[in-house]
Structures are given as C-alpha cells and as structure tokens.
Amino acid sequence: MKNEQLLMLKPDLAGLEKAAVILQGGGLVSFPTETVYGLGADARNDRAVARIYEAKGRPSFNPLIVHVADADAAARYCEFNDIAQRLAQAFWPGALTLVLPLKADAGISKLVTAGLDTLAIRVPDHPVAAGLLGAFGGPVAAPSANPSGKVSPTTAAHVADGLGDKIDAVVNGGHCAVGVESTIVSCVGDPALLRAGGIPAEALEACLGRALVVGQDPELPTAPGQLESHYAPRGKVRLNAPYAQEGEVLLGFGPVDADLNLSVAGDLTEAAAHLFAYLHQLDAMGAKKIAVSPIPDHGLGRAINDRLKRAAAPR
C-alpha cells in the first residue's frame, strides 16, 4: 500500500535535519547504511521504539541494534573490554555489531534490549547514516526496514513498498553497497559469532588471533537476526539446487543458466550486494517455487548462506 504522506527525503543537509527532527519527535525514519536500510527511532524513547515493533510486526523478544556516530558515543552506553576495543578499532565504522554489557545509566529503552543486560551496537560506514546520526545527536535503534521475516531492503523503494504506510520518512541514499546485514559478535565472555554478515568471520579471527565461538539457540535470541525463519520471500525456497525443476525459478550463482544470477562471475561480494534485491524481484515476479544454486560457504558466502537458510526455513 502506498502512503501518500510518506516523506521521501533527499540525503542533503535539509533532508537530514528534517529526518533528525522527526526522530526527536518520536517518529520513524528509514535511512541507508552500507549494509541495508534501517528503520530508525530514538533508542531512548519507549514509545518510538514500540512503533518499530509495531511497524515491522517484530517479535518483542528479538533485540534491536543501536547505531551511534562513533566509538566514543558507543562507550557512553556500553562497557568495552580489550577484545571489543580491538574489534572496534579495526572495523568501525563498518558492518560489525558488537554485543556489550549495558551501562546501568545508559538510558536505553528496555524495548531495545528486549530486557537483556547487553546492547547490540555499531557505528555505520555510510555518509548518509553518519550525517543523520550527527544531526540527531543520540543513539538510533534501527533494525532492517522491512516487515519482520521478509526480505531486507537495499533501496528506498524497497522500504516504501514494505513499510510505506507505517512509517514517517525515508532518506533516499541510493543502493546499499554491502547488501547483507552486519556481522554480530558478542564480546561478553569468549568472543562469539552470533550472526554472519558483511564482515567475514575470518577477518575478525585474524584481528583477534583466535577463533570465534559459534552457536546460539535461534528460539532464544540474544542479538538481532537470530530467528530461524527470516529474510523470507513469498515463494518456497529450495537450496543447493544445481538446476531448476519444473515450476521453479532459478536464483543462480556462477556460470549457470538462471532466471536471475547473483554473480555470473562467482564473486561473493557481488552476490551479497544483489541478494536481497533479487529476492524482492522474485516476489515481484510472483515466483511460487525458488531454486537456489549452491553458494561457497566461506567469506561472505557464509552470510549469504545464513540468509538463504533462514529464507528456506519452514514457516
């Protein structure tokens, strides 16, 4: 449903200032990051955060990521240990979310943390996101700007199509370069990979000089993006398919004859950038059955496979 009242803001000074005013008033503003478009609200405002859950239809036990302008801002809300400091110095701003102990006086809405004593936080590496955070001057809770469980948005048009009748404004900053959500690492206890994402786990492990612990219960999420059925197009998804069967549309990878191809060249970075846009296209095509070519399970391929596995989960 198209919302005639939805503000589509330009990513200039006037647009960012208008977006900041909407956030300050408890409104919902979608904005681009290098990963996907986020659905932002003042992370200190219970009513505004509740509107995120309402707009997305998101389970209230699934925590939200808070976006801040820089590491100094993050330190106002969270406790950093040596591991967190090393990761932040190496990968912020960027597609890395850290789960850290929440300071007692942080002032973050409990709806953001889903009642946990930790906070998922990151510093995005996108000029529009940075400009908005600077204009707003506070923490912005921002999950992906899509109905919960549906395909994440990588353009302003995706946001308008999915949530246009439920939110106040979108800052149109073009296409998101990375195209999959941030990697999430818990720095509470041994460093643990909670969600594969835009920064490969191998790069994080090289920075730390140690392996990350992997494995969380998807029914008891401690960070965003851990629900089993997620990122789902309307059609039924079959993974690791060398070819399409009768009635299926093939989402390809590599040199295969496909209806849509994530990367003919077999480039995982290109495939990640195309993933959500192509899942949206499959919905637009009315695909009832979707076959997906095998994707190598290393580097960004781990994040792509994670999203596809969730897209294919029973629902």
Q: How far apart are CA 75 and CA 84, in angstroms?
A: 11
Domains of the chain, residue spans: 7-214, 236-312
Smallest CA-to-CA distance from 226 within 190, 269, 183, 189 is with 183
Is the pLDDT at 24 greater than 90, yes or no? yes
pLDDT at 219: 45
How much is the average pLDDT of 183-195?
94
pLDDT at 315: 74
Report whether 230 contacts 218 (CB < 8 A): no
How much is the average pLDDT of 125-151?
96
How much is the average pLDDT of 274-300?
92
How much is the average pLDDT of 99-128?
93
pLDDT at 62: 73
Q: Is 254 left (phi over 0), alpha (psi -120 to 50) or beta?
A: left
The first and second tokens of residue 172, run together, are: 């149109």
Report whether 58 contacts 148 (CB < 8 A): yes
Identify the band that residue 186 occupies on the pLDDT scale cut at 50, 70 and 90. Answer: very high
Q: Answer whether the bond into residue 93 is a cis peptide, omega within 30°.
A: yes
Q: Identify the CATH class of 7-214.
A: alpha beta
